[in-house]
Structures are given as C-alpha cells and as structure tokens.
Amino acid sequence: MSEATDLLALLQRPLEPTFLPKDDGKTVIDLPDEFLTDRYRPIGAELQSRFSNDAEQRIPVRQGAMPDLSFADGIDRRGAFSLFIPKHRDAAAALINLFIEQPDVPSLMSVGAYCRDRLNAVLFQYSMAVAVQHREDTKNVNIPSVVSLFPDQFVDPAVFPKLREEGAVVQQENRMVIDIPPNFTASDREDEQRMAYFREDIGVNMHHWHWHLVYPGDGPDAVVRKDRRGELFFYMHSQLIARYNSARFCAKLKKVRHLTNYREPIVEGYFPKMVRSSNNRSYPARAANISLQDIDRIDNGTIVSVSDLERWRDRIHEAIDQGFVLDKEGNRIALDEVRGIDILGDVLEASSLTPNMQLYGSLHNMGHNVISYIHDPDYRYLEDYGVMGDVTTAMRDPIFYRWHGMIDGIFRRHKDLLTPYTAQQLGNPGVTVSSVGVQLSRPNTPANVLLTFWQRSQVDLAAGLDFGPQGNVFASFTHLQHAPFAFRVEVNNESGAVRKGTLRIWLAPKADERGTVLSFREQRQYFIEMDTSTVTLNPGMNTIVRRSDQSSVTIPYERTFRAIGTKSVPTNADQLAQFRFCGCGWPQHMLIPKGAPEGVQFDLFAMVTDYEDDSVEQELDPNAPCNDAHSFCGLRDKKYPDRRAMGYPFDRRAADTVRTLDDFVSPNANMKTATIQVKFNNTVIART
C-alpha cells in the first residue's frame, strides 16, 4: 500500500509543479530530469535540491516511457475542463485507459508524474481518481475530497486572499479560521435565493462530483459498464429533484417547472460569483430571460443546435411510446419493466453504453452544454462555459433542476406505461407493520418531531491553495443540519418462524407550497428515500430502531469533507477502512428537508418486503467499508444490492382507485404511515 498511497502526492496542489513539496512540505517527488517541463528542465538540478532539503519522505519516480498525449491537444493546462464536452470526455477516456493499462503501481506513478505537469489539472485529477478507484492494486487508496483540491469550485473566491494572507503571515498554530459568508450569490429580492442553502451546499455539490467519479460516462468498458448503471443515473437524479421540490414546499415555493420548451426565454438568472483558480477567470453569469441558442464552439469542437435537442427528445419519446429502442443495426431492444429503465438511462445521459448514439444523440450532456454556453454560443467573446458545464458546480444553478426535471419527466413517461404493482408484488403475507415513527435522540423530546438548524463547520483548504502557505488553512462555512434522531418500526411476524425482510423507509410532503394536500398521484413523485436495510424478524413482535446516521443514502460529515495530507489519514485500522473509497453518498446533514419554524408536516412511510424477493445472489463482506450509501452509489465491484426497481414501490403509477396515500397503504399489512413534523430553528450552532 505504501507505493499506492504515494499516488496521493500527485493529487495535491494541482497547479503547482510536481517537484514542489507536498504534505505540508514533508514529501518530495524525485522526478527524472527528462520529466521536467521545458520551462524547468534547464534549472532542474537547482530546483530539485532547493525544494527537497527538508523533506522527511522522498518518492522516487523511475524513468519510463513518455506517452503520447496528443489526445489532449487543445485542452489548455490552465483552462476549463468539462465532462459534458465530447472532446474533453474523449480525452478523459483516453487518459483513464492509459492509467489503467499500466502494469503496476510504480509504472502508474511514473506515467502519472509525466502527465501531471503537461495536462489540464482537472482532466488529470479526474482521470487519475477514476483509475485509482478501479485498479485492483490501488482501489483501497482514498481519494481526497475535491473541495480540498479545487476549492474554487465550491467556495466564495473572496476568502482566498484572506486565506493566503493568514497562511503567509501567521504561524500555523495561531491561524484564524476564515469565514465563508452564506448565501452570497443574490439578495432576498430573488425568490430562488431561498433555495441557495440547498443549491450551493458544498456537500451536495461534492456528492454530484463524486457520483460521476464512481460512474464515469466514458472510459474503458470495464469501468463504465457497472450493474444497473443507467437505472442508477435515473434514480439518483430523480431523488435530487424530489428532495429539491420537498425543500421548495418548505420555503413556500412552487414545484420546479420542467424545461420542456427549449424555445422560450429562461426567466431565472444566475450569477455564480466564482473564479477558476487555474486561469483567474470568473465563471460567466447567466442573465434572466435569455433563450437557448445553437452552439458552435470552435475552441473545443462542441457543435449542437436547439433543434438537435428537440429531435433527440422526440425520438426518445417515440421509443418509449413504442416500447423499444433501436440499436445501430436496427434491432429492437425492448423497454420492458426489468431492463427498460436501465437502457433508457444509458440513452438519455448518454454514456458510452448507449445502443445508438446516432439516432438518440446525447440529450442530457448536450443540454448541459447548450445551457452552459448560453452567454457566448459561438465563442465571439472568448468566454468559457458557465456553472452548468461542470459536474462540481452545475447544481448551484436553478436551471439544473428545471433541466433535470425535464429529464426525470422522460423517465417517468416510461415508468407510467408500466402496469401498476400487483397485490402480490406489494404484499408480504405473515408480516404486519404495526407502527412507524421518529424520535429525537435527546431525552424528553416529543415523538414524531424533527429539528433542523444551521451549523458552522470547518474545512481545510490548504491542499488546493496552489503556491500558498504550507500547513493547515481552515475556512468555516454554514450549512443546514438536523438533530440526531432514530426511526422506530414495530413489525409483527405472524409466520411462526424466523424470517428476513427489507425495511424501506420513505418521507414525502403532505401538501404543496400553498398548503393544498397532495393527491397520491402527485405525492409519489416527491417521496425521498430515507433508509433501506435488511432486518431479521423473530416470531411475534419486533422493534426495529434505525439511527439517522445509519441511513443507506448518506455518508457522514467526516467522509464528505475529509481532508488530504499525512495528518488527516487515520491510523486505526477500522477508521482507515472507512476513510477509503467513501466519498460517494448524499451528505448526512441534508438527510431531511429544512422544514419551517412553524413546522411542516410530512408523511413517514415504512414497508417490510420479503427478503427472498429482494436479495441478489452474490457474496458480500459484512465488514466491507463504505457500503452504507448503497442506495445512491451501489456497492463497490458488486451488483446493486436490491433486486427491486429503484424507487419501488413509488416508481410506478397506482390504480385509478388509489387517490390518497391511505388508499395505497390500507390493503397492505406490511406498510404503515405516520404524520411527522419538521421544525426549523433559525440559529447557528458551531460543530464541536
């Protein structure tokens, strides 16, 4: 592992030359002179001796073949890099392939060290991270938090001069924490600013980046072709929209209006107030009431028209209505109830797994591009893409949710054509859920009331401050948080024998922004998954308690915001296991909607299904780290651990006679609901 962890030194301070010290000045990478760039090769000996005298660790890089990097021609080292731009995706796929095909870790270190100073920093970081996570000999190396490497993608740039000043002037033990102001992109005159705490949350945006890191759309087939990948693309993004709409109702805002008309002006504007550290250029703003335009970008070869988007959308609609897609040879691939949603996910994204790129195009990715270049569609003003062009920043813009709402609507068009679940598919004979509720972890608190508030936390940004101070440099930020709580479910096993089941817990708003009670047809679109777990049911009554921090959707703060560098790596074996490959998952602090000071009512739903109908045949290590966010991220190197459709039982329409949630639940003894309240306390509490 020591050789493998040496790779982490390549990921630090991405824009600094590789020969500069890493790990707070304690580690130096010894490069062959031939690996130095043209600028530094003439003075290589002086540089290497000057920066390595005080190093505690030296990482030797062996002389190896210097690969042809022409696949990245035209992608400036200090320019922007986007996974939505075809040329950039192709370059990333080639680089991932180059890293994965290296025969051993020293060879990977050698090729990586050569590439690092010659390629775009984000392209290198992304490709190396994907390769490290998918190689057998490196997959247990932790990938550092992207916010610590590229803080410019997440943080108000006004804090960077303060951080550098503090780090340059003050010794490490006396440095102050620099505060990142919350909600800095607009005033309260803009209604959408009520959702800034969600859209601009660092953990939310890091989740989106890390999910696309685990599920890249292009690259070696073995890396892209993961179990039910297309379906997970649908489900994860669908849950983002459901969570966002639930939060909007709490803020007295109406549900997201899907971007179904590509010709009408987009009424919402967004001014990101962010600067790319690579070239010190700001992310362009998107003014209100601008219409989408045809894109002809000579800088990176992105050419797409609005009519392309419309044509691809219409062809996908036609395929859904006909019940099949056509592959490149004209063969029909059925969109059935088992594989249909998975195939549609590959088509809509579109990943390299799409069966017919020529016919169905790349609706999701190119839509991101058309929106992200709305301010400069033909490169007239030499401007780069806006925040919608980058997976680390896209969720900041209100238009992300309108665009993905439209994408989700296409998926639901397919789902709504499926036959409603039968009583047999929903039931679990012999199992009765008697009650479900929530309870705060503090004593003497009322049942079925949850509490949210603001919390101030800290993140170490030193590893991303290129040419900045050594040592830790902390910034504090304010985010939503909830008081710890537990789900409590009473289940009666009437079969007389021990049985296994799957406990599924969901939450949905009872009413919209006006307080109008939602029908079941409307409400099922807003159910958010809270937890899914395997339970053992003894004969008779069973009490199941699941803490909020055990959710199958989330990862804890310590993993969302884990730092980089030698000091941050745990030494305890169990803690170290949790530190690795653990960045994928919804942030725990955003598990429940914000609520409101007066309280917002939600329907809590619990269901126990038969494990025999849910289980997937595969060997699982019960002690494997980071399986706790499998609902959004799956299991590493394994099949998705639930045979049911993602979103079950709310992914399909119900019979016309089902008008309310009670109508849906009452025929099924293995289901139960309760009404809970989420109360928001407008106070800020520092993380201890």
The CA R_g of the chain, rounded to the nearest whole Å, is 25
User: Which of these CATH numbers, 1.20.1050.10, 1.20.1370.10, 1.10.645.10, 3.40.50.300, describes 3-141?
Assistant: 1.20.1370.10
* Average of per-residue pLDDT across 515-521: 96
E strand or H helix that includes residue 675: strand 671-686
Higher-confidence residue of 49 and 74: namely 74
- Mean pLDDT, the chain, rounded, equals 89
**Tens of pLDDT, residues 320-345:** 999 999 999 999 999 999 999 999 99
pLDDT at 577 over 80: no
**Residue 282, SS3 per DSSP:** strand
Q: Sketch the domain layout of the chain as residue ranges.
A: 3-141, 191-417
* Average of per-residue pLDDT across 262-287: 90
Provide the pLDDT for residue 578: 43
pLDDT at 570 over 60: no
Identify whether the C-beta of residue 269 lies closer than 8 Å to the C-beta of residue 287. yes
pLDDT at 513 over 90: yes
Determine which of 1-15, 165-179, 486-500, 617-631 has the lowest per-residue pLDDT on average: 617-631
Provide the pLDDT for residue 568: 46
Q: Where are the beta strands (DSSP E) in 118-214?
A: 178-179
pLDDT band at 561 (very low <50, low <70, confident <90, very high): low
**Residue 22, SS3 per DSSP:** strand
Is 349 among the residues known to form the active site? yes
Provide the pLDDT for residue 469: 64
Higher-confidence residue of 162 and 336: namely 336
Share of the chain above pLDDT 70, in %: 93
Q: Is 137 exposed, middle or buried (0-12, 13-18, 19+ CB in 10 A)?
A: middle
- How many CB atoms neighbour CB 447 within 10 A? 11
Chain-centroid distance, C-alpha 352: 20
Catalytic choice (166, 231, 349, 529): 349
d(CA 347, CA 332): 14
Full-model pTM: 0.91
Provide the pLDDT for residue 105: 92
Q: Which two tokens stand for residue 142?
A: 């932790």
Identify whether the C-beta of residue 245 lies closer than 8 Å to the C-beta of residue 265. no
**Tens of pLDDT, residues 418-455:** 999 999 999 999 999 999 999 999 999 999 999 999 99
* Average of per-residue pLDDT across 84-113: 94
d(CA 377, CA 302): 10
pLDDT band at 466 (very low <50, low <70, confident <90, very high): low
pLDDT band at 572 (very low <50, low <70, confident <90, very high): low
E strand or H helix that includes residue 318: helix 306-322
Q: Which two tokens stand for residue 525?
A: 């679109």
Provide the pLDDT for residue 569: 47
pLDDT band at 144 (very low <50, low <70, confident <90, very high): confident
CATH architecture of 191-417: Orthogonal Bundle (1.10)
**Tens of pLDDT, residues 343-368:** 999 999 989 999 999 999 999 999 99
**Tens of pLDDT, residues 20-41:** 888 777 888 888 888 888 888 8
* Average of per-residue pLDDT across 569-589: 61
* Average of per-residue pLDDT across 389-394: 91
Provide the pLDDT for residue 468: 64
Chain-centroid distance, C-alpha 22: 28
